[in-house]
Structure 1
Amino acid sequence: MADDNENDDSGTVGWGGILATLSASFLQSAVFYLLFLYQRAQHKKRNEFSLYEPRQYIKKHGTPFSDNWIRDAWNVSQEELLSIVGLDTLMYLRFLLLGTRVAAIGVFFSMVLVPLYATGNNRGAWTTEFNLFTLARVEQGSNKLWATVAFWWLFISYILLQLWREWKTFQGLKFRGTIQWDPDSTREARYAVRVELSDRSSSSSSLSIMKSDKALAEKFEELFPSQIRQANIFLEVGPLEKAIAERQIAIEAVEKATAFTMAKPLEPRPQTKIKSYLPCKGETVDTIEHFSHEVDRLNRDIDDMRAKILHQRDLADNSNSSSMDSEDAADRNSYIPSSTGIVVFKSLLAKESAMKRDDTQMTIVPASDPEAILWENVTVPLRKQKYRAIAAAVLWTFGVLWWAVPVALMTAIANLGAILKIFGLSRIINQDTAIYGIASGLAPVVALIVLMIAVYEGILTVAKKYIRFKSAPEVGAYAMRWHMLFQFANLWLILIGGSLFHQVGALIKDPWSIVDIIAYALPGASRFFVNMISVNGVGRFGLELSMLPQYGTTLFTNFLLPEAQRTQRMIDEGKKPPEVQWGKMIPQHVFVFFVMIMYQPIAPLVDVFALVYFCGTYIVWKHQCMHVYCQPAEGEGSTTWQSFFGFLLACLYMSEMVFIAYMGIKEAPSQAACGFVPLTATLLFHYKVHQAFVFASTGIDAADGTDPRASLIDMPIQEKVYWQPSLKAGLFEREPMPYRRVVSEYGTLP
């Protein structure tokens, strides 16, 4: 089998495709980088921040408009960075820095491994060009494999030490952040838990827990005397929320019509059709007058509904249902408590004790910041969420199986040489041209990136609209998990699919030869992964800095709707900083981390590309997170480091198993047995991390009695912070915004 593979030129990994993809990626990035420098300089002259400094509009501290952005981004200390971006973003950036360090060590080791592999005695098409510097060049059972084992031990040891260091850093920062109040976050959120009536509870005593705010508070007062600050039940307020949404549509219709009238005073005022579902029928009325009356009507309806619900809420808290008068009882159906509530404690110790409590009546989890709660989903029963999550998991599992079809197509394009050979065109078409290199190297990578974007958006939609998770961190964690699983599937499908494509004949003769096929495919498939790293790294550095999607959207909006015709709301929306979608970004980086580790002993040159990827991504995203992106709520590391650390360990486990299998295929049983040493070390490390960090106390019990910042007792607190926004009259607009805000020497006037 080895001889067949070595004489088959379909698996040759040529430098042409790699260099063509790298050159195209560099050229693209350079063009966008020049656009970034030019546009950024123009914006600085105009004192404009909407594209490259949007954080200035909401968080002016720590986001200076600097000239040398690379130097300033690199020199910002971890302490200053934490104060600017928060713990979630800091741990994301520290992961990129971790990838940089690991890749640098891999490159250092490659200085020995690459010459060692290049002097191997294996010959054939699979050991030329790029494969000349891979383990494929080393003959079966060679003593050179001991050097590979030694460097593998050192490599895994370094990664484990770095991961331990990151956990120690994270634990210290999380503890400090927990007892200190971030002025950009809601203070009460760190003391709050979300209470879900358990699926196992059906008794009347269990259901009475969620009867009213008072009942919930009394229940927790029994469990934690003198430790409850607030408690409230979320209500089913669908009709009220529907009326508020309808009013918002009417308000924005008035604003748009007013903006049109102000921009074009000589044009007729906008008209609208009413009392008809067909555009050509119905009565024509003035848009501004009609929707202004609608706003007034809806304001009255909303006030009545809200007052009635709050009145009934007070009755539920202060009396039992039998004491309600007949009118209140007749309207009782408008007050419908859900199975979800919030409890705010007076101390962090009490909150931790509540979350550790094993209660068959309730499920208690940390509450998200009010800014991160998806209020339209907050009353969905936990049982319904669980059933829908199971149904979605079945869908995604089958999706991974069908995912093999598009990935196989991308792999086939990447193995264009094998296709040409099958159809007898390999001698007709020149495979050394740049066009061929781009077609076989760049095109499949770009196509796969586009497909992964579509998959991620589908996962996100299912999480928000079907399962209906109750907070943005839950949605992000779900999207990250399934997006990461699809990324893992990509790697194995690319390896297996690409190998089987040009080894079908050998596989038919000997089905058990699939193990050997994959072994020889590992070095060969490195070209696809190198091209993917180049496109996702070098190709996106300039694109990310240029903010081209946002810039293009702005240009398109200006073309369709000049600024004079835009409402004040539209202008304000254009100034909001974007947020980082962790579930979209992190799996891409973990994928490269996986490829980097797996290929370090097999194709060490991959680590050179990974070093450029992680180092460049760290600098670019450190700048972007300090100046452009802004997360609406802080998860204190739970949405980043704690969410993807398990995937990093999965990368280690799979890489170690690949190493053992590859040594076995290389007919080196002693070296394969030595591969179990780092695998065992990783298992012990995993256990130790869980004991020392994951399941260990955060130290709040020690700080709670000594540090006044760990308690809310005698500390001013915002009342009703976790009330649903629809029940807070001040959170919603009652009238359209003015066409333009008036700015005077005294500030901005409404």
Structure 2
Amino acid sequence: MNLSALLTSAGINIGLCTLYLSLYSILRKQPSFLYVYFGRQLTQRNNNYLDAFNLERFVPSPSWIMKAWGLTEEEILSVGGLDAVVFLRIFVFSLRIFSIAAFVCVFGVLPINYFGQEMQHTRISAESLEVFTIANVKEGSRWLWVHCAALYVITCSACSLLYFEYKSISKMKLDYIIGSPPKPSHFTVLVRGIPKSIGEPLGDTIRNFFLHYHGSSYLGHQIICRRGKLQNFFSNVKMVYKKIFCFEVTALDNTCRSGLCRCGLCGGVSNSFRFYPDNFYERRTDLHCIDISSHQKECSSAFVFFKTRYAAIVASKVLQTSNPMLWVTDLAPEPNDVYWRNLWIPYRQLWVRRIATLLASIVFMFLFLIPVTFVQGLTQLEQMRHMLSFLKGIPNKAFVIQFVSGYLPSVILQLFLYTVPPTMMLFSTLEGPVSRSVRKKSALCKVLYFTIWNIFFVNVLSGSLITQLSLITRPKDIPAHLAKDVPRQATFFMTYVLALGWTSLSSEVLQSYSLLYHLTRKYIFRCKDDPSLVPSFPYHTEVPKVLLFGLLGFTCSILAPLILPFLLVYFFLGYLVYRNQILNVYSTSYDSGGRMWPIVHNTTVFSLVLTQIIALGVFGIKASQMASAFTIPLLIITLLFSEYCKKHFYPIFRDLSAQDFIDMDRDDEQCGRMPKIHEQLFTAYAWLAPPPPPPITGALELCYVDGEPDSPVQVTI
């Protein structure tokens, strides 16, 4: 690929970015799209907006950029929680380190790469991109020490910035725990693997066990039951309450539709609700008189409440019995973070589920080699034409070849990648996590491993499946292959940053899929705006994407410095876009307390180590013994730095401090807050009980949505 093909890809993506950002600045002003672009704010303010005509609404403006830029870290913390702050810190760190790398490599390394061979250069636009990489430097060149020095500058700067970021985020993590109001999860332990006694109720078994072994600190318990059909109905009452009473913008029609959604051409309306007059109360059914105990199935799990935080954390960490499969204890997640569907899974099944999902993830990863290999082949169009006859019909015009080899591969790969996050989220759900944050963290790790393997290693090794498997069996040959292939594939990574980076960010701020779904739902199916459809932030898709670009930046910094300016544009644009999305679009129902940062730190260290291994192989190929000798100590220093951070900061994210919990317990006891906290514990995890709604003059009929409606259940609101 030559520079003109790269510029063609850049021009297409710049045009798409400009179009998307202009459309966003117009559509965000339209009242009919408020739930797409201001969903989080509408769910909190409950405002009605008038559709008043104003010419300014149809003129693009950059006002959203200034609002996003002006947000302080305290405002982001109050809006999106510590997870949002940590996510944005990834962009801040990336901007700092790659600004240093761009300055050093573009002005120091790039000229040496370009003039590395004694050759007659043509005009810049016709130059092959390989002349800008380290592959153009001749063997035994005395200028390779510049690459080694640049590698030292980048590694030392990255480690220093990582240390200060880890230290700062660790302090925020401690402040998050200490400064937050009393959390039910700090007093609650989730117990699984409870043995069932013949002739003794499960509740008595739990009570007798904890009174015998934790009598001074045991407060009470709540048995976890698997839901029946009637429980499913009760669990929807809270959602109905939220839609009816908390959001004035959700209108209720005076007629009740049938179960199937109708399009606007068939008549019919979208709401499943109908108000009845006051005299309808005489015909209603009192659901509180129904015995729901016969509709539930007790699981071998329970929430156990303790009188103090310290007692709960001690009970969650110690082994309760000599049999590690019985009375298994962990700190309970927050009530909003509980993933109720997985609480019924027997504890003995979890290891089987984890092994099965691991094998399924590996199989899916290798099946994905087929589209990746084809996409990589498009960058070498002439070779692919000899192998695949249908590619011979592509015209030999310069623009067509530049489009097919420069822009099309990244687009095709991105389309295939859209299937990865939902698949990994499904695998993470089947593993059996009991909290939504753990499920999303598991999906994040799976997507990250998948992305690094299929986007980086498979494209770099760029051979058949047999060749890639042979490299796995001969790991000592991997550095040499990486040293040869990374500079060659750097051109593909540049176009990948343009297509997946720039364009995907502009598509993110435009909310293309949410916009299409909103238009279809509102104008085809005639449904009203639903405040409950506000999405949560997709950390499991966005964090791996950002970390992958960081990996590409580190590995290509001294090998192909031309990628660094494109990465800087991506990180700066992403910093603005995601600040805007956190403020306006995504809701925050739970907060893991920045649990993703150790993953970010470890991935960055992995990127640095991989960069040094590749550089070591390149210096060996280029016959520069001095550069190779100086790279080995740098590799050891990086590993020692990683171990130092793991010992000093990682325990803060993994464990809770007894000292802090004891101080918090004493403070609550001295201030007299502890009895109120104990009272709230017994209702915190009572997910079947909806909040008491305000009285209205009417009854609400819930119409069934599948099949012919039976006698509808009447609920007095």
Alignment of 1:403-422 (within 5 A): 403-420=368-385
Q: Is contact 2:68-2:576 (8 Å) kept?
A: yes
Structure-2 separation of matches of 1:302 and 1:124 = 88
Q: Is the alpha carbon distance of 1:624 and 1:700 closer, same or farther for their aligned partners in structure 2, counting shifts above 3 Å?
A: farther
Report the counterpart of residue 99 of structure 2 in structure 1.
Answer: 104
CA positional deviation for 1:616: 1.0
Q: Is the alpha carbon distance of 1:445 and 1:154 closer, same or farther for their aligned partners in structure 2, counting shifts above 3 Å?
A: same
CA positional deviation for 1:499: 5.8
Report the counterpart of residue 27 of structure 2 in structure 1.
Answer: 39
Task: State the one-letter code of the partner of 1:374.
Answer: Y
Q: 601, 609, 619: which is aligned to 1:653?
A: 609
Q: 695, 711, 716: which is aligned to 2:651?
A: 695
Aligned-residue sequence identity (percent) comes to 19
Q: 532, 538, 557: which is aligned to 1:581?
A: 538
Deviations 1:411-465 (A, max 9, x none): 112222432477899999776733322222222212222222212211222333x
Q: Is the alpha carbon distance of 1:161 and 1:59 closer, same or farther for their aligned partners in structure 2, counting shifts above 3 Å?
A: farther
Alignment of 1:289-438 (within 5 A): 303-306=289-292, 309=293, 336-359=297-320, 360=324, 361-420=326-385, 433-438=398-403
Report the counterpart of residue 603 of structure 1 in structure 2.
Answer: 560
Report which stretch shifted further, 614-623 or 221-230: 221-230
Report the counterpart of residue 446 of structure 2 in structure 1.
Answer: 482
Q: Is contact 1:523-1:602 (8 Å) kept?
A: yes
Deviations 1:365-392 (A, max 9, x none): 3322212222222211122232112111
Q: Is the alpha carbon distance of 1:300 and 1:591 closer, same or farther for their aligned partners in structure 2, counting shifts above 3 Å?
A: same
Q: Is contact 2:223-2:299 (8 Å) kept?
A: yes
Report the counterpart of residue 495 of structure 2 in structure 1.
Answer: 531
Report the counterpart of residue 671 of structure 1 in structure 2.
Answer: 627
Q: Is the alpha carbon distance of 1:22 and 1:236 closer, same or farther for their aligned partners in structure 2, counting shifts above 3 Å?
A: same
Q: Is the alpha carbon distance of 1:392 and 1:698 closer, same or farther for their aligned partners in structure 2, counting shifts above 3 Å?
A: closer
Q: Is the alpha carbon distance of 1:218 and 1:30 closer, same or farther for their aligned partners in structure 2, counting shifts above 3 Å?
A: farther
Structure-1 separation of matches of 2:285 and 2:7 = 64
Structure 2 residue matching 1:725: 3-state secondary structure:
coil
Q: Is contact 2:39-2:584 (8 Å) kept?
A: yes
Q: Does 1:69 align with 2:64?
A: yes
Structure-2 separation of matches of 1:457 and 1:731 = 36
Q: Is the alpha carbon distance of 1:666 and 1:301 closer, same or farther for their aligned partners in structure 2, counting shifts above 3 Å?
A: same
Q: Is contact 1:32-1:546 (8 Å) kept?
A: yes
Task: State the one-letter code of the partner of 1:338.
Answer: C
CA positional deviation for 1:648: 2.9
Q: Is the alpha carbon distance of 1:686 and 1:67 closer, same or farther for their aligned partners in structure 2, counting shifts above 3 Å?
A: same
Structure-2 separation of matches of 1:296 and 1:97 = 63
Structure-2 separation of matches of 1:240 and 1:425 = 58
Q: Is the alpha carbon distance of 1:589 and 1:57 closer, same or farther for their aligned partners in structure 2, counting shifts above 3 Å?
A: same
Structure-2 separation of matches of 1:614 and 1:634 = 24
Task: State the one-letter code of the partner of 2:536.
Answer: E
**Any stretches of 5+ residues in structure 2 without a counterpart?**
47-56, 245-249, 261-271, 704-716
CA positional deviation for 1:100: 1.4
Q: Does 1:94 align with 2:58?
A: no
Q: 554, 572, 590: which is aligned to 2:530?
A: 572
Report which stretch shifted further, 620-629 or 667-676: 667-676
Q: Is the alpha carbon distance of 1:204 and 1:158 closer, same or farther for their aligned partners in structure 2, counting shifts above 3 Å?
A: farther
Alignment of 1:434-473 (within 5 A): 434-464=399-429, 466-473=430-437
Structure-1 separation of matches of 2:252 and 2:582 = 39
Q: Is the alpha carbon distance of 1:540 and 1:513 closer, same or farther for their aligned partners in structure 2, counting shifts above 3 Å?
A: closer
Q: Is the alpha carbon distance of 1:707 and 1:72 closer, same or farther for their aligned partners in structure 2, counting shifts above 3 Å?
A: farther
Report the counterpart of residue 56 of structure 1 in structure 2.
Answer: 41
CA positional deviation for 1:610: 1.3
Q: Does 1:194 align with 2:190?
A: yes
Structure-2 separation of matches of 1:512 and 1:374 = 44
Q: Is the alpha carbon distance of 1:732 and 1:680 closer, same or farther for their aligned partners in structure 2, counting shifts above 3 Å?
A: farther
Structure-1 separation of matches of 2:120 and 2:372 = 28
CA positional deviation for 1:248: 11
Structure-2 separation of matches of 1:102 and 1:84 = 27
Q: Is the alpha carbon distance of 1:272 and 1:600 closer, same or farther for their aligned partners in structure 2, counting shifts above 3 Å?
A: closer
Q: Is contact 1:55-1:629 (8 Å) kept?
A: yes
TM-score (norm 2): 0.79
Task: State the one-letter code of the partner of 1:625.
Answer: I
Task: State the one-letter code of the partner of 2:113.
Answer: Y
TM-score (norm 1): 0.76
Structure 1 residue matching 2:95: 3-state secondary structure:
helix
Deviations 1:619-641 (A, max 9, x none): 11011111211221111112x22
Structure-1 separation of matches of 2:401 and 2:302 = 61
Report the counterpart of residue 21 of structure 1 in structure 2.
Answer: 9
Structure 1 residue matching 2:349: 3-state secondary structure:
helix
Task: State the one-letter code of the partner of 2:628.
Answer: A
Q: 516, 521, 528: which is aligned to 1:557?
A: 521
Structure-2 separation of matches of 1:33 and 1:517 = 41
Task: State the one-letter code of the partner of 1:37.
Answer: S
Q: Is contact 2:335-2:685 (8 Å) kept?
A: no
Q: Is contact 1:17-1:437 (8 Å) kept?
A: yes
Task: State the one-letter code of the partner of 1:705.
Answer: D
Q: Is the alpha carbon distance of 1:487 and 1:558 closer, same or farther for their aligned partners in structure 2, counting shifts above 3 Å?
A: same
Task: State the one-letter code of the partner of 1:613.
Answer: Y
Report the counterpart of residue 118 of structure 1 in structure 2.
Answer: 114
Q: Is contact 1:153-1:678 (8 Å) kept?
A: yes
Q: Is contact 2:668-2:674 (8 Å) kept?
A: no
Structure-2 separation of matches of 1:406 and 1:69 = 38
Structure-2 separation of matches of 1:460 and 1:527 = 31
Report the counterpart of residue 159 of structure 1 in structure 2.
Answer: 158
Report the counterpart of residue 614 of structure 1 in structure 2.
Answer: 571
Q: Is contact 1:16-1:432 (8 Å) kept?
A: no
Structure 2 residue matching 1:579: 3-state secondary structure:
coil
Q: Is the alpha carbon distance of 1:91 and 1:190 closer, same or farther for their aligned partners in structure 2, counting shifts above 3 Å?
A: farther
Q: Is the alpha carbon distance of 1:495 and 1:156 closer, same or farther for their aligned partners in structure 2, counting shifts above 3 Å?
A: same
CA positional deviation for 1:297: 11
Structure 1 residue matching 2:36: 3-state secondary structure:
coil
Q: Does 1:237 align with 2:222?
A: no
Q: Is contact 2:309-2:661 (8 Å) kept?
A: no
Deviations 1:451-493 (A, max 9, x none): 22212211222333x3343221122122111111111111344
Task: State the one-letter code of the partner of 2:301.
Answer: T
Q: Is the alpha carbon distance of 1:644 and 1:271 closer, same or farther for their aligned partners in structure 2, counting shifts above 3 Å?
A: closer
Report which stretch shifted further, 525-534 or 729-738: 729-738
CA positional deviation for 1:538: 1.6
Report the counterpart of residue 594 of structure 2 in structure 1.
Answer: 637
Report the counterpart of residue 592 of structure 1 in structure 2.
Answer: 549
Q: Is contact 1:251-1:736 (8 Å) kept?
A: no
Report the counterpart of residue 710 of structure 2 in structure 1.
Answer: none
Structure-1 separation of matches of 2:668 and 2:11 = 54
Structure-1 separation of matches of 2:118 and 2:549 = 29
Q: Is contact 1:537-1:616 (8 Å) kept?
A: no
Structure 2 residue matching 1:376: 3-state secondary structure:
helix
